[in-house]
Amino acid sequence: MALLQISEPGQSAAPHQHKLAVGIDLGTTNSLVATVRSGMSTVLQDAHGHGLLPSVVRYAPDGKVIVGHEAQAQLSADPTNTIASVKRFMGRSLHDIADRAHIPYRFVEDDSAKKQVQLQTRAGLKTPVEISAEILNALKKRAENALGGELTGAVITVPAYFDDAQRQATKDAARLAGLNVLRLLNEPTAAAVAYGLDNNAEGIFVIYDLGGGTFDVSILKLTKGVFEVLATNGDSALGGDDFDHRIYCWVLDKVRETSKNFSPLNEEDTRLLLTKARQAKEWLTDNFEAQIVCKLSNGTMVDVTLTATQFVELTQHLVTKTLSPTRKAMRDAQLDITDIKGVVLVGGATRMPQVRHAVEEYFQQTPLTNLDPDKVVALGAAIQANALVGNRSDSDLLLLDVTPLSLGLETMGGLVEKIIPRNSTLPVARAQDFTTYKDGQTAMSIQVVQGERELVADCRSLARFELRGIPPMAAGAARIRVTFTVDADGLLSVSAREQTSGVEANIVVKPSYGLSEDEITRMLKDSFSGAEQDKHARMLTEARVNAGAIIQSITQALKVDGDLISTADKQAIETEIERLKATSQAGDADAINKAVDALNHSTEAFAQARMNASVAKALAGKNLEDIQL
Ligand code: AMP
């Protein structure tokens, strides 16, 4: 009888062994943790039955760190020690946080080269990574309590536009919280996974995500289980809160109409009225009218009724505002509405019927809404985590990203030559040949830039390096191949190689480091509004660079061979050179090009004389047989 085999302790590979894996939606306002149980992705709740964990961390006077609802309740009482929306500061420097005036925190820059922000709290300086780690730790504990064991790993979601530094900071936070990060997953991709689009669908999908404070739209292409982010866009200052604010303003107007001597609201009343506004908004999702009733601290009674129709009118411009980034993303991905196979709604604010209608009308199809839009990202992350730890044998999804802005280098005259266009799918590698500007040039300075504008001065400089040891050749004869490579993590390497000698230089840069979403948006906006101006600037610079090169080569030739022509011919050329120099100073590209033509024309006899001289030199001392090869 064959002997039965027994494995070493702890090495058993029982096929039914289920590893504990979770998906975490680390959100700006709320965070969630989900797992797959009995084949179903489910959000895990705390002891009070809450699924959402407010992303708020409080450093309490007794030294305790409080996370979630309890911390949120202290936000206005203890603002500098109660940190909300820390996600906005991940991987950022002070410089990147544009709208600091409205943020109550005391920021300090660390002394590393990256100058990342830190927050001064009563528990000392805290980095956004440490603060996020507290949120992740709370979710980890929740999961371990609910699942009764240690977690094998977690998939954590990040916005699709998160750059390398923000992704790295998220990973660091997870590590600090003792989590094994299986993968960072783009939020829109997680939403698509939650709807099972990876299993049986091929095609292009739009993920429309309207949360409390932000709007993101992403276009994903799914092919054989491969997710590719074709384009992302959004508005970091547009969300459900703006709808609350519209109701709040409407209520104030109504109250002012009825009560004379109405004084401005204090902070407490503002908060009360905003909460009432939010409740009314949420109520109107399923009802025709909402009653807003409360008593302000000065005794004024508020009692107004808002109908769903009025609410739609009040907020129509906000709904319309989401369509502009949507259109831009469609344009970036070069798609037509008819190319879109499905639309997924994410974020609590997409529950509003007017939002659903607008999306439906724009895309001419009913969006997918049957999963809870607050939970869909965490649910998708859990499905992915479950697959990655091997609980599901059928998939290991490959996820691709895009470059948010074009990458290129500086050419003569401060112009940008784009090598990798924006929205290229990662990883990507592109090469282009360049040449020298001057005779005998042996070195070249390569400046790597990011942005959509035509002039280096309007783009962001990422790095500069030099290629030395180019063999001396005539201007324009050397071939220098410059290769840009961006790997799957968004890391850019640039190499320059002179083709005949093989001399090479290279550099590695993180192209997106330190760029906020707003900055990317601003750079793109500038590129659209500056397009015409850029075209002129580019034409002018190109004409000037061309003129400079011609002047230089003719001056050099005159120095060497000037005695081949008459003084009068020489003077005529010199006159045209001076004229071209003067024209180049002015700002008319056409005039410069005409002056170049005139100069070229004036050198025809000289060129002929040089040609004859060099032929005569080549033939000197040779007989006819030598020449008839
Ligand atoms: P999120 O950031 O995805 O959690 O979305 C939060 C936003 O969704 C807040 O502005 C909420 O007021 C809003 N929201 C939640 N539920 C509803 C609802 N039933 N109707 C309208 N808005 C909602």
User: What local confidence, expressed as pLDDT, does residue 245 receive?
Assistant: 95
Confidence of residue 202 (pLDDT cuts 50, 70, 90): confident
84: exposed, middle or buried (Cβ count in 10 Å: 0-12, 13-18, 19+): buried
Compute the half-sphere exposure of residue 133: CA atoms within 13 Å on the CB side of its CA: 17
- pLDDT surpasses 80 at 385: yes
Residue 51 Cβ < 6 Å to ligand 1: no
Mean pLDDT confidence for 607-626:
70
Question: What per-residue confidence (pLDDT) applies to 38?
Answer: 86
Residue type, 201: A
pLDDT score recorded for residue 100: 63
Q: What is the pLDDT of residue 7?
A: 37
Average pLDDT over residues 423-447: 85
In this prediction, residue 285 has a pLDDT band, given cuts at 50, 70 and 90, of very high
Mean pLDDT of all residues in 458-480: 87
| Overall average pLDDT of the 506-532 stretch | 66
Structure tokens at 473: 């050749």
| Summary mean pLDDT of the chain | 86
**Could you tell me if the CB of 374 is within 6 A of ligand 1?**
yes
Q: For 564-574, how does the pLDDT look when each residue is reduced to its tens digit (9 = 90+)?
A: 888 888 898 99
Mean pLDDT is lowest, of 220-224, 232-236, 469-473, 586-590, for: 220-224
Average pLDDT over residues 332-338: 95
Position with higher pLDDT, 357 vs 85: 357
pLDDT-derived band at 225 (thresholds 50, 70, 90) equals low
Probe target for ligand 1 pocket from 351, 356, 372, 375, with the most ligand atoms within 8 Å of CB: 351
Instruction: Say yes or no: CB of residue 276 within 6 Å of ligand 1.
Output: no
> For residue 11, what pLDDT is reported?
38
Catalytic residue flag (residue 253): no
pLDDT tens track for 93-128: 888 776 666 678 888 887 766 678 899 999 999 999
Cβ-contact 234, 216 below 8 angstroms:
yes
- The Cα–Cα gap between 556 and 610 comes to 13
| Pick from 219-223, 369-373, 396-400, 503-507: least confident | 396-400
Q: Which pLDDT score, from 0 to 100, does residue 8 have?
A: 44
Residues 232 and 229: their CA atoms lie apart, in Å, by 7
Does residue 256 have a pLDDT over 80?
A: yes
Per-residue confidence band for 490, with pLDDT thresholds at 50, 70 and 90: low
Residue 604's pLDDT band (boundaries 50, 70, 90)? confident
pLDDT above 50 (res 397): no
54, exposed or middle or buried, with CB in 10 Å at 0-12, 13-18, 19+? Answer: buried
**Distance of CA 346 from the midpoint of ligand 1 (Å):** 10
Nearest CA to ligand 1 atom 8: 348
**pLDDT (0 to 100) of residue 329:** 95
Residue with tokens 């109250």: 255
Is the separation of the CB atoms in 436 and 477 below 8 Å?
Answer: yes
> Does the C-beta of 213 come closer than 6 Å to ligand 1?
no
Which of the four pLDDT bands, split at 50, 70 and 90, describes residue 9?
very low
Give the pLDDT score at 393: 54
How far apart, in whole angstroms, are the C-alpha atoms of residue 628 and residue 387?
Answer: 75
Decide which of 618 and 417 is more confident: 417
Q: Does the beta carbon of 355 sit less than 6 angstroms from any atom of ligand 1?
A: no
Tokens for 224? 């054989």
**pLDDT score for 510:** 59
Q: What angle (nearest 5°) sits at the alpha carbon of residue 221, between those of residues 421 and 349?
A: 100
247 pocket-lining for ligand 1 (C-beta < 6 Å): no
455 alpha-carbon distance from chain centroid: 21
Helix (H) or strand (E) holding 120: strand 117-121
Span 43-84, pLDDT tens digits: 999 999 999 999 999 999 999 999 999 999 998 889 899 999
Ligand 1 atom having least distance to the Cα of 27: 2
Residue 457 above 50 pLDDT?
A: yes
Residue 628 pLDDT: 45
- Please return the burial class of 331, using the count of CB atoms within 10 Å of its CB with bins 0-12, 13-18 and 19+: exposed
Rounded CA gap, 462 and 354, in Å? Answer: 43
Query: Average of pLDDT values for 357-378?
Result: 97
Cα 485 to ligand 1 centre (Å): 41
185 C-alpha vs ligand 1 centroid, how far in Å?
Answer: 23
Q: How confident is the model at residue 91 (pLDDT cuts 50, 70, 90)?
A: confident
> What does pTM read for this prediction?
0.65
Instruction: Say if residue 144's pLDDT is above 90.
Output: yes
Asked if residue 394 has pLDDT above 60, the reply is no
Q: What is the token pair recorded at 274? A: 């905003």
| Whole-number pLDDT of residue 96 | 78
Is residue 2 scored above 60 in pLDDT? no
Is residue 362's pLDDT more than 70?
yes
Question: What is the model's pLDDT at position 627?
Answer: 47
Q: Which residue has the higher pLDDT, 480 or 396?
A: 480
Q: Is 411 in the pocket of ligand 1 (CB under 6 A)?
A: no
Whole-number Å distance between alpha carbons of 368 and 346: 9
Which of 112-116, 157-161, 336-340, 609-613 is predicted with the least confidence, judged by mean pLDDT? 112-116
627 Cβ partners below 8 Å, 6+ apart? 619
Distance CA 314, CA 520 (A): 30
Residue 361 has pLDDT above 60, yes or no: yes
Active-site residue among 87, 126, 221, 375?
87
What is the CA(211)–ligand 1 centre distance, in A? 7
Which residue puts its alpha carbon closest to atom 6 of ligand 1?
A: 212
Which residue puts its alpha carbon closest to atom 17 of ligand 1? Answer: 282
In angstroms, the CA 385 to CA 382 distance is 5
Average of pLDDT values for 128-148? Answer: 96
